[in-house]
Structure 1
Amino acid sequence: MRKQVCVKKKRYVRALLIVLLLFPLVDFAWGGGTEDGRVAVPILLYHRFGPVVADSMTIKTSVLASQLEYLHTHGYTVIPLRQLIASLAGKAPRLPDRSVVITADDGHESVFTDLFPLIRRYHMPITLFIYPSAISNASYSLTWSQLQEMKDSGFVDIQSHTYWHPNFKKEKKRLSAQEYENFVHRQLFKSREVLQQKLGGTVDMLAWPFGIYDDELINDARQAGYIVAFSMARHPVTRSDSMMALPRYLMINPVQGIVFEKLLAESSLSREKRENHP
């Protein structure tokens, strides 16, 4: 019995440490713009879902459902990612208070079976970042018909996560300079080409695999036609962030219940303080 308690305590401490590392308290105003035009909006980054936590990137579907329900019932507005980008560029009106953006990377089949029904229920727009080499090929992956159905719903925008999700740091060490240049070109261009050919629409947003990028990759991405890209830095998006490395919060299963609620509440309090004390 004592051994079981120790194991549970260790698991709790480990989960708590992960949460603290992923979500440091920052003095940012989540959820829209202030009267003077400041913007601070969190982008939530999900990967896959299921009845149990199969790995570090899996969130229980029940946890996801409770998070979306909380956003829906507590005054948060889930806005399209493109609306946030337009606001950052000064091409859109002031964002709603308590704005939040939802994204999901990779293209796991649970995005269709678990996430998609929930966003339709709540009418929440999302953006998927897909690496097309896996689609209709890998056993865990979405199919092209599923992606098309989600896109046709009007709730889902589909963008690039490179062609097959490489680790650019490792590839740069492994390949010659010319080989690496060709490799990057293929990853960036072919992803856009395939997604646009298969699904139509405009693919001009990129999520960096593993959050890895540098100035060279940013220049390559711009040349490939991407106007904005996303990292995994853990803070809300503000006007001071680079448009080619906008931050997103990695969502993991321990960020649930009171932890999720407190995270949003503290961010809202931070916003009120900044508005009342400019």
Structure 2
Amino acid sequence: MPFLKRTRLSLLEVRALIKKIFIWTTIIALISLFFLSRKELFAEAFSADKPAMSFPEKLTEDGCLGLNYHRVQDDALFVKSARTVLQSNELVQYSVLKSEFQAQIDALVEAGANFLNEEQLLKAKEDGDFPEKCAWISFDDIDVSVYDNAFPILKEANVPFTMFVIAGQVGNKDFSNLEMATWDQLREMKDSGLADFGSHTFDMHRFEGETPVFLVPGQADAFREDLKKSVEMIESELDVTVKSFAYPYGNTNERVARILKEQDLEAGHILAPQVIRPADDNYWINRVIVNQTTFDDVLLPYLEKN
């Protein structure tokens, strides 16, 4: 019966093995030092203990909570690792995990939230009569994570929501490193009876220098055309009526608000750490960016008390 022979390593092979061990040990040590050196950064990383936006004061006034989301990411290990390591606005401010979103919707339902769609929100605001525990959920941009991860949860819970669409980027598989939802996916969400739609520009969701391009002086005519084009495309593709606009990056000015009025839109939505109040200007309607810390520390306690 054949047997295995024991072989001796030559001196050169031993040296090569030692060299490989040394190289890998050095690499591991350097990686460890890198992580240790950035310990403070990791301690501040996404959603562990950092709110998505600053709240100068607690939410105390009566009104409706406008909850805004962008990405609802998978709970895959690489996503969790990336958001622990990286300090980018995309991960720090604009994303929640699917498990977090599920827990948030469950908590809102348990707390007795009265979910409104946008039409109901604007009507209640006009009447000055929001229901108790009022909440309105919106999404900006609309990448595939909204369809894949958020929509099934909202559908199961029968919760209405509004999507603000970058009309010219629908179906783009690489918009700022995001895969955008397709028109067919948007139609499926619309057909659920839960989704309504607004504009988030046609193709002006970008910066010129340090300023959102739609806010740059001299861009008024370009914005008018972009807004008109976006509304027409969304209405044509989805067979809906577009009544509102969400300002990219969450801010606006009087010139842009006037353009919305000129084009017969009923509302414009900003990002601000306040509830929606009846007296607020319809073209500066507040929405709060949600992550788990903001939800736990600010939003759910407010809803439970009102």
| TM-score in terms of structure 1 length | 0.81
Q: 2:142, 2:165 within 8 Å by CA — same for their partners in 1?
A: yes
Q: Which moved more, 1:151-160 or 1:166-175?
A: 166-175
Is 1:95 the counterpart of 2:120 in the alignment? Answer: no
How much does 1:88 deviate?
Answer: 1.0
Task: Determine helix, strand or coil for the equivalent of 1:196.
Answer: helix
List aligned pairs for 1:153-168, cutoff 5 A.
153-164=192-203, 165-167=205-207
How much does 1:239 deviate?
Answer: 1.8
Q: Which moved more, 1:116-125 or 1:166-175?
A: 166-175
Corresponding position of 1:11 = 42
Cα gap change, 1:24 to 1:218, in 2 (>3 Å): same
- Picking from 40, 55, 61, the partner of 2:63 is 40
How high is the sequence identity, in percent, across the aligned residues? 23
- Picking from 36, 46, 71, the partner of 2:108 is 71
- Picking from 139, 142, 156, the partner of 1:104 is 139
1:78-97 deviations in whole A, cap 9, x for unaligned?
Answer: 22122111011118xx4332
Q: 2:215, 2:256 within 8 Å by CA — same for their partners in 1?
A: no
How much does 1:182 deviate?
Answer: 2.5
Corresponding position of 1:80 = 117
Gaps of 5+ in 2: 1-31, 83-89
Amino acid at match of 2:156: R
Give the distance between the partners of 1:237 and 1:120, measured in 2 at CA.
24
How much does 1:261 deviate?
Answer: 3.3
Cα gap change, 1:267 to 1:188, in 2 (>3 Å): same
| TM-score in terms of structure 2 length | 0.74
RMSD: 2.7
- Picking from 173, 185, 189, the partner of 1:146 is 185
Q: 1:28, 1:270 within 8 Å by CA — same for their partners in 2?
A: no
Cα gap change, 1:208 to 1:156, in 2 (>3 Å): same
Q: 2:59, 2:298 within 8 Å by CA — same for their partners in 1?
A: no
Give the distance between the partners of 1:270 and 1:20, measured in 2 at CA.
22
- Picking from 152, 168, 186, the partner of 1:117 is 152
How many equivalent residue pairs?
253
Gaps of 5+ in 1: 30-38, 272-278
Amino acid at match of 2:247: W
Greater radius of gyration (CA): 2
Corresponding position of 2:60 = 28
Task: Determine helix, strand or coil for the equivalent of 1:133.
Answer: helix
How much does 1:265 deviate?
Answer: 4.8
Give the distance between the partners of 2:34 and 2:236, measured in 1 at CA.
57
Is 1:210 the counterpart of 2:252 in the alignment? Answer: no
Q: 1:232, 1:250 within 8 Å by CA — same for their partners in 2?
A: yes
Cα gap change, 1:70 to 1:8, in 2 (>3 Å): farther
